[in-house]
Amino acid sequence: MGMSMRVGLTYDLPSDYGFEKDSLIYADYCLPEEIDYMEEGIRRIGFEPVLIGNMYKLNERLKSGALDCDIVLVCDEGIASRNRESIVPALLELNRIPYIGGDAYCVGIAQNKYHTKLIAKELGIRFPRGIYVEYQKEEPFRREDVFTALQKEGLSYPLIVKPNNEGCSMGVFIVRSGDELSAAVENDFLNYQEPVLIEEFIPGKELYVPIVGTGKSAYALNVGTVLKKDGSDVELYSVECKCRDLTRYEAVKLSDRVMNTMMESALRLYRHMECRDFGRCDFRLDEKGEPVMIEITPRPGLSKDGPFESCARSVGKTYDEVLKEIILSGAKRYGLEGRSLS
Ligand SMILES: Nc1ncnc2c1ncn2[C@@H]1O[C@H](COP(=O)(O)OP(=O)(O)O)[C@@H](O)[C@H]1O
Ligand SMILES: [Mg+2]
Confidence band, pLDDT 50/70/90 cuts, at residue 208 = very high
Same domain, 121 and 141: no
20 inside domain = yes
Q: Cα 332 vs. chain centroid, distance in angstroms?
A: 23
The pTM of the full predicted model, rounded to 2 decimals, is 0.95
Same domain, 196 and 151: yes
164 inside domain = yes
**206 CB within 6 A, ligand 1:** yes
- Please report the pLDDT score of residue 1 as a whole number: 40
Same domain, 168 and 294: no
For ligand 2, the distance from its centroid to the CA atom of residue 1, given in whole angstroms, is 44
Same domain, 145 and 192: yes
Same domain, 218 and 196: no
- Report the CATH number that the domain containing residue 115 is assigned in CATH: 3.30.470.20
Same domain, 44 and 135: no
- Under 8 Å between Cβ of 76 and 31: no
- Poorest-confidence range of 21-25, 123-127, 164-168? 21-25
Looking at the structure of the chain, the number of domains it has is: 3
Same domain, 264 and 322: yes
Q: Which pLDDT tens digit goes with each residue over 99-157?
A: 999 999 999 999 999 999 999 999 999 999 999 999 988 777 889 999 999 999 999 99
Confidence band, pLDDT 50/70/90 cuts, at residue 339 = low
- The span from the CA of 96 to the CA of 90, in Å, is 10
- Report the CATH number that the domain containing residue 165 is assigned in CATH: 3.30.1490.20
Same domain, 12 and 150: no
- Please report the pLDDT score of residue 245 as a whole number: 86
Contacts of residue 136, defined as CB under 8 A and 6 or more positions apart, other chains included, come to: 142, 189
Same domain, 142 and 57: no
Q: Which pLDDT tens digit goes with each residue over 217-263?
A: 999 999 999 999 999 999 999 998 888 889 999 999 999 999 999 99
Same domain, 185 and 235: no
Give the residue numbers spanning the domain of 19: 6-101
- The span from the CA of 202 to the CA of 205, in Å, is 9
- Report the CATH number that the domain containing residue 93 is assigned in CATH: 3.40.50.20
Q: Which pLDDT tens digit goes with each residue over 250-309?
A: 999 999 999 999 999 999 999 999 999 999 999 999 999 999 999 999 999 999 999 999
Residue 255: how many CA atoms within 13 Å on its side-chain side? 8
337 inside domain = no
User: 71-74 and 99-100 as β-strands: parallel, antiparallel, unpaired?
Assistant: parallel
Looking at the CA of residue 130, tell me the nearest atom of ligand 1. Answer: 1
Query: Helix axis angle, 113-122 relative to 256-272, nearest 10°?
Result: 110
| Ligand whose nearest atom lies closest to the CA of 293 | 1
Q: Which pLDDT tens digit goes with each residue over 59-76?
A: 999 999 999 999 999 999
| Ligand whose nearest atom lies closest to the CA of 110 | 1
Inform me whether the pLDDT recorded for 342 exceeds 50.
Answer: no
